[in-house]
Amino acid sequence: MDIYKDHATALVADVDCTAEGKDLCSAMGVQGYPSIKYGDPSDLQDYKGGRDFESLKTFAENNLKPMCSVSNIDLCDDVKKAQIEKYQSLDADSLSIAIEAEENKLKEAEETFKAEVSKLQSTYEKLMKEKDEKMEAVKQSGLGLMKSVKATKAKAGNDEL
């Protein structure tokens, strides 16, 4: 944090998501700890790189610079400029409706994911139970005794040579 404290375009800060920063973390989509976010403060992205100092420093040097955003539209390509201009042309109500629609898509994706993971968990537990029951049945069928008899016969056969 000290390295970037007077940086013109980068802010490095930490937030305690379990105390006073809980609302901020929720608004920024922090779901796990520790989380590292970067980018435009109104559209932070998840950092997925290494967590050691050199990896973080390299990432910062290569990525933490002015970038395409509403406040830096001149840095955007034509496609992104058109997208920003489209959203800027919407009135506040239309923009709120569009944001809500996209947030609902995120919520739906998360709910679908959780439901499917729950199904997988149930399937896993069922398969694990079936496997354990089969393994126990095989053990009860005398597999251990068969192996013991075979080993004894093999040993006796070796003694006869």
What was the pLDDT predicted at 77?
A: 93
- Tell me the three state secondary structure of residue 38: strand
What are the extents of the domains in the chain?
Answer: 1-66, 90-156
Beta carbons within 8 Å of 72's beta carbon, 6+ residues apart: 66
pLDDT digits (tens, 9 = 90+) for 35-80: 888 877 777 888 888 989 899 889 888 877 777 888 889 989 999 9
- Closest to 41 measured CA to CA, from 59, 56, 58, 29: 29
What pLDDT does 158 receive? 66
Closest CA relative to residue 8, chosen from 65, 62, 76 = 65
Q: Does the structure show a pLDDT above 80 at 89?
A: yes
**C-alpha angle with apex 101: 87 to 32, nearest 5 degrees?**
100
pTM over 0.85: no
Beta strand ranges found along 36-157 (DSSP E) = 37-38, 45-46
Higher pLDDT, 101 or 155: 101
CA separation (Å) from 88 to 2, 46, 61, 70, 85?
A: 36, 25, 31, 9, 5
- The pLDDT score that the predictor gives to residue 4 is 72
Greater pLDDT, 58 or 29? 58
Looking at residue 159, what is its pLDDT? 57
For residues 11 and 65, is the Cβ–Cβ distance under 8 A?
no
pLDDT value of position 9: 67
